[in-house]
Amino acid sequence: MSVGEKIKNKRNEKNYTQEDLANLLHVSRSTISSWEVGRTYPDLDTVVKISDLLGITLDELLKEDKVMTRSISNKIRNNKYYKVTIIVLLVALVASIIGMYMYNRSLDPYREWYQDHVTSESRSSNRIEPRG
C-alpha cells in the first residue's frame, strides 16, 4: 500500500475531509488529493506531522512505499550537494576578490610612477609656444 493510500485510509478513519487535513497541515486541499492519488509526495517534515495527526507511526506510513522513501533520500542527498556547491562557489568568489585586491595593491608603485611620468610629459607636450 502506498503512502497516499495510507493517508487516505487513516484520514477516513479519523473522519477528516481532505479540506480538514489540509487546514491542519497548512496546505491546500488539492495537495492532499495529489498525495492520496500518488501524483506527489509530502516532504519529510509534513510526513512527521501527518504521522502525529493521523496516529500512525512513521514506520507504518513509509516502510512499504519504496518510491516515497527513495524520493526522500534523493532530496536529502541533493540538498547536501547543493550546500557543498554553494560553499565552494562562495569560497572561490572570496578568493577571487582577495586576489584582485592583492594584484591591484601590487601595482600601486607603478601607478605612482606612471602618473608622475605621464603628467610631467603631458605638461611639457601641451605647452603652447608663442608665434613670432
Which residue, 30, 17, 58, 19, is CA-closest to 50? 58
**Residue 36 domain-assigned (yes or no):** yes
Domain span at residue 34 reads 3-64
For residue 14, the model assigns a pLDDT of: 93
Tens digits of per-residue pLDDT, 24-46? 999 999 999 999 998 888 888 89
Pick the residue with more confidence: 65 or 24?
24
Pick the residue with more confidence: 76 or 124?
76
Nine-digit cell string for 65? 512505499
The residue to which cell 605647452 is assigned = 127
pLDDT confidence tier of residue 74, bands split at 50, 70 and 90: confident
Same domain, 52 and 9: yes
pTM above 0.85, yes or no: no
Pick the residue with more confidence: 63 or 19?
19
Same domain, 17 and 59: yes
Segments in 14-131 forming alpha helices (H): 18-25, 29-36, 44-54, 58-62, 66-106, 108-125
